Structure formats: structure tokens, C-alpha cells
Amino acid sequence: MKESIHSYTINDADLLIDGTIFRYESLGVAPRRYPDLKVRDLPTEEKPREKLLAAGPGALSVPELLAVVFGSGTKKEDVLAMAKRIIKEYGERVLSRQTNAAALAKELDVPIHKAMQVIACAELGKRFFVENPSAAPVIRTPSEVFEYLKDMRDLPREHMRGLYLNNHHKIIHDEVISIGTVNSSLIHPREVFKPALEYGAAAVILAHNHPSDDVTPSQADIDVTKQLCAAGKLMGIQVIDHVIIGRTSFASIPVDY
């Protein structure tokens, strides 16, 4: 892991924009394994709905909770297999921040009503849970970005994230900007800076993952950084870093490229 040798500084701007299930039978006995069984083939006590009733939501994994939300699968995919695939491929935080049901259904390859269920549950969670602003994470170094975005380390596809900060380096918004290869022709500045305007951010940190674990910046990574830094200067919103996330390491693209 590359350690940070500097801390972020947010400059004053002229324009201020406000697959396997284990069950332990008893102490000292090896766990039983249920490899990729369909829900109907699982022991009753291991089925997501029954487990929820018997032991409460804390006993369920995230895929099991999502399977309860879905209720049923499709002709080509069992509900639990679908839930596991979605969580593995797209990540928990990515799902929680989606708002376009049609786009999500296409991206996840699921029926539109199931995409709507995901979005509705995420929105309920946001409305039920009011975050304490004083507890918002503070990000000052690339290593803190790497730690905060640890959920991106094992994603099989590239995700571009924007961390939007106030003048005190606190994250006031975290958004998935795009899913897929990072390319300047695909990532438009308006997608990056629209949340900054909406949330009154003073600065933004860009980050995306390299599933290959090679965190060497590509020419496309550098081009995107240059393009967005130039756009940020015009808008008075500082791009203070672009961090590439690998499974075990990270790299920071200098914003003065």
C-alpha cells in the first residue's frame, strides 16, 4: 500500500458553491455445508424468511436480506442466487445509492419490479436513518480514501465514485458516478459536478477501482483527471485527488497533470 506523504488542502475559491452456507451443530463439530442450493432445497431453518422469523434480521447475511425483499426469483435464476450475484457484482453501497429503476433493472439484469424494490428499500433506509452531521467522516489523505472505500476493493467491474467534501474535509455526499471502464468520452463533467452543486460541496475526491489490482494509472485515467480538474476550476469546485483502488493497494493521480 502506498502511504500518503501529504494531506489534502481545500483551497478558497472565488466562487463558493454552497455461495456456501455453514451451520454449526454443536461445539467441536465441523460445520455442515450447503453448496449453492436453491432456497426450496435448503433446510427450513436456513431459508431466509424462516431464519428471519426465528432469529431476527441480524442473523441474515446481506444477500439473504435482499432475497427476502425480492420474495422470489425468475425462471432463469433462484432468488438467493440472484441476490448473491447482485451483491457480489455491484456492491452494497452502489445499490443503496441508485434512484433510476429502469437503468438499474437493465444494469442488474432483473425485472423492473425487483429494481424498484431495491430502490424503495434504500430510500426507506435513508429516510428512517437521519445521520448526525458531526459524525460525518473526515478525509484528509489518500490512505483515508482507500480505507473509506474498502467496499470497492473486490468489485469485479470498475466503479467511479465521487466523495463530496465541505470546507472542513467532511464527506457530505458519496455517489456512484458510473459503472464500467473509466473513459473521458463516457464520464461527462456534469455527472461529477451536479451532486457538488446540489449538496453545496467545496471539493470532490474522485476514486475508481482496478479489478486487476494493478493500480498504475492508465492514459484514460489521466485524461479523465485532467478534464475534470479543468471543469472544476471553472466552477469553483476543487478536484483534490483521483485515487485508484486495488484489492491490496492504491495510487493517487496528481491533480496537476
Q: Is the pLDDT of residue 206 over 70?
A: yes
Residue 31 has what pLDDT?
43
pLDDT value at position 40? Answer: 82
Q: Residues 225, 242: contact at Cβ < 8 Å?
A: yes
pLDDT of residue 130: 53
* pLDDT confidence of residue 129: 63
Q: Is the pLDDT of residue 147 over 90?
A: yes
Q: Residue 141: what pLDDT?
A: 95
pLDDT of res. 234 = 92
**Average model confidence (pLDDT) across the chain:** 82
What average pLDDT does this structure show over 205-212?
Answer: 94
Q: Tens digit of pLDDT for each residue in 90-143? A: 777 777 778 888 888 888 889 999 999 988 988 887 777 655 555 678 999 999
Q: Which three cell numbers stand for residue 5?
A: 506523504
Question: What local confidence, expressed as pLDDT, does residue 36 receive?
Answer: 60
Statement: residue 242 has pLDDT above 50:
yes
What is the pLDDT confidence band of residue 184, given thresholds at 50, 70 and 90? Answer: low
Please give the Cα distance from 8 to 152 (Å, whole number): 21
> What distance in Å separates the CA atoms of residue 63 and residue 4, rounded to the nearest whole number?
35
Question: pLDDT at position 236, please?
Answer: 92
- For the stretch 17-44, pLDDT in tens is 344 433 433 344 444 444 466 888 788 8
Higher pLDDT, 96 or 74: 74
Name the residue with higher pLDDT: 1 or 54.
Answer: 54
The CATH architecture to which 134-253 belongs is 3-Layer(aba) Sandwich (3.40)
Per cent of the chain over pLDDT 90 is 41
Domain boundaries, the chain: 36-128, 134-253
pLDDT, position 131: 55
Residue bearing the bigger pLDDT, 225 or 12: 225
